[in-house]
């Protein structure tokens, strides 16, 4: 009995292994094997590492150079602290008492955030009056013995205050009234559709 290996369907954990998956698994297995071999053999310095590259670049018989002054002795930070904490401690030590927390925002940023934001100048009296007039609508005027006007559906008599709005005056022709709110006066006019 002969079995054709190429025609056999492979099923592992319910997943069909097609050609693409087989190749992927083979590559992953080779990578894992290379990692294991590297770790088992010590994983020492690479033959192309900096020490061998530097030695290969020096001419044979050349005089050794004087060692460079270390960065630590010159007052700079240690070029290769062992951990993030060591690096942060080195920054704090170099800066002195200026830096209490390296993750804290600079004081200038905090001062800017605390300052009040000004979007522009204060509106003029005319702009306030226009806004007051736009916010209210005169819908009726009664010029009988007792003058009554209707603003925003509420009746007002001369001098009456309702919802912070005071009726100051009524024009003789009955077409407009003067109102006051918050120290700002505005004139409302009866529209032609409301007569």
What CATH code is carried by the domain that includes residue 165? 2.30.30.830
- What confidence score (pLDDT) does residue 168 get? 93
| Count of domains forming the chain | 3
Q: Determine the pLDDT at residue 177.
A: 93
Q: How far apart are CA 153 and CA 150, in angstroms?
A: 6
What is the predicted pLDDT for the residue at 52?
47
Is 153 a domain residue? yes
Burial 63-74 (b: 16+ CB within 10 A, else e): eeeeeeeeeeee
Output phi, psi for 56, to 5 deg: -70, -30
CB crowding 86-122: b at 16 or more within 10 Å, else e: eeeeeeeeeeeeeeeeeeeeeeeeeeeeeeeeeeeee
Question: Which pLDDT belongs to residue 167?
Answer: 92
**Rounded to an integer, what distance in angstroms lies between the CA atom of residue 182 and that of residue 123?**
14
Q: What are phi and psi of 156, to 5 degrees?
A: -130, 140
Provide the pLDDT for residue 26. 92
Tokens 């200026």 identify what position? Answer: 98
Q: Whole-prediction pTM value? A: 0.38
Task: Quote the pLDDT of residue 116.
Answer: 61
> What pLDDT shows up at residue 21?
84
Check residue 156 and give its pLDDT.
92
Structural domain contains residue 46: no
Tokens representing 152 are 């925003």
Taking the CA atoms of the chain, what radius of gyration do you get in angstroms?
44
Asked whether residue 186 falls in the same domain as residue 143, the answer is: yes
Residue 133 resides in a domain: yes
Which portions of the chain are predicted below pLDDT 70? 1-15, 42-81, 95-102, 111-120, 192-195
Give me the domain span that covers residue 13: 7-40
User: Is residue 178 a contact partner of residue 147, using CB atoms and an 8 Å limit?
Assistant: no
Q: Note whether 132 and 190 are same-domain residues.
A: yes
């Amino acid at each position: 009995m002969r079995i054709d290996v190429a025609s056999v369907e492979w099923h592992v954990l319910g997943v069909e292994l097609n050609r693409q998956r087989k190749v992927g698994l083979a590559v992953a297995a080779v990578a894992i094997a290379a990692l294991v071999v590297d770790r088992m053999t010590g994983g020492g310095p690479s033959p192309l590492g900096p020490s061998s590259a530097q030695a290969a670049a020096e001419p044979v018989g050349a005089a050794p150079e004087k060692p460079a002054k270390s960065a630590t002795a010159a007052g700079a930070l240690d070029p290769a602290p062992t951990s993030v904490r060591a690096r942060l401690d080195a920054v704090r030590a170099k800066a002195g008492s200026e830096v209490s927390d390296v993750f804290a925002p600079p004081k200038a940023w905090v001062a800017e955030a605390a300052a009040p934001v000004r979007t522009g100048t204060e509106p003029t009296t005319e702009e306030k009056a226009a806004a007051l007039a736009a916010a209210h609508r005169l819908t009726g005027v009664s010029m009988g013995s007792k003058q009554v006007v209707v603003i925003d559906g509420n009746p007002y008599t001369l001098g009456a205050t309702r919802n912070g709005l005071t009726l100051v005056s009524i024009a003789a022709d009955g077409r407009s009234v003067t109102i006051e709110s918050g120290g700002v006066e505005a004139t409302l006019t009866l529209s032609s559709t409301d007569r």
